[in-house]
Structure 1
Amino acid sequence: MIIIEHLFQVSQYKKIIFLDRDGVINVNRPNYVRLKSDIEIIKTAVDALIQFRNNNIGIVIITNQQAIGKNILSIEEAVGIHLEVIKKLNIKDNSIIASMICPHLESKNCLCRKPGIKMIQTASEMFGVEMKNNFFIGDSLTDILAAKKADLTPICVGNSVDKKIPISSNALFFDDLLGASNYICPQ
Structure 2
Amino acid sequence: MALIILDRDGVINEDSDAYVKSLEEWIPIPGSIDAIARLSQAGHQVAIATNQSGLGRGLFPQSALDAMHQRLNQLVTSAGGCIAYIAYCPHAPEAGCQCRKPATGLIEQIEEVLGVSARGSYLVGDSLRDLQAGVSKGALPVLVRTGKGERTLGKGDPLLEQALVYDSLDAFTTDLLAKERL
Residue 180 of structure 1 aligns to a residue in which SS?
helix
Give 1:182 deviation, angstroms.
2.5
Alignment of 1:175-186 (within 5 A): 175-185=167-177, 186=180
CA distance in structure 2 between the partners assigned to 1:89 and 1:97 by the alignment: 11
Offset from partner CA, 1:9-62 (integer Å, 9 cap, x none) = xxxxx1121101111111111211112111211112123112202211111111
Give 1:89 deviation, angstroms.
4.3
Richer in helix (by share): 2
CA distance in structure 1 between the partners assigned to 2:175 and 2:157 by the alignment: 18
Structure 1: 5+ residue stretches without partners: 1-13
Offset from partner CA, 1:123-144 (integer Å, 9 cap, x none) = 1122122222211111111101
Residue 100 of structure 2 aligns to a residue in which SS?
coil
* TM-score normalised by L of structure 2: 0.87
Say whether 1:162 aligns with 2:154: no
1:78 to 49, 60, 65: 65
**Contact 1:140/1:165 (<8 A) preserved:** no
CA distance in structure 2 between the partners assigned to 1:57 and 1:127 by the alignment: 12
Offset from partner CA, 1:107-153 (integer Å, 9 cap, x none) = 11210010111111111122122222211111111101101111100
Residue 94 of structure 1 aligns to a residue in which SS?
coil
Residue in 1 aligned with 2:163?
171
Say whether 1:20 aligns with 2:7: yes
**Contact 2:91/2:97 (<8 A) preserved:** yes
**Contact 1:26/1:40 (<8 A) preserved:** yes
Residue 136 of structure 1 aligns to a residue in which SS?
strand
Give 1:165 deviation, angstroms.
4.5
* TM-score normalised by L of structure 1: 0.85
Task: State the identity as a percent.
Answer: 26
**Which segment is superposed worse, 98-107 or 35-44?**
35-44
Residue in 2 aligned with 1:8?
none
Alignment of 1:1-187 (within 5 A): 14-89=1-76, 91-158=78-145, 160-163=149-152, 164-166=154-156, 168-169=158-159, 170-185=162-177, 186-187=180-181
Residue 54 of structure 2 aligns to a residue in which SS?
coil
- CA RMSD in angstroms comes to 1.7
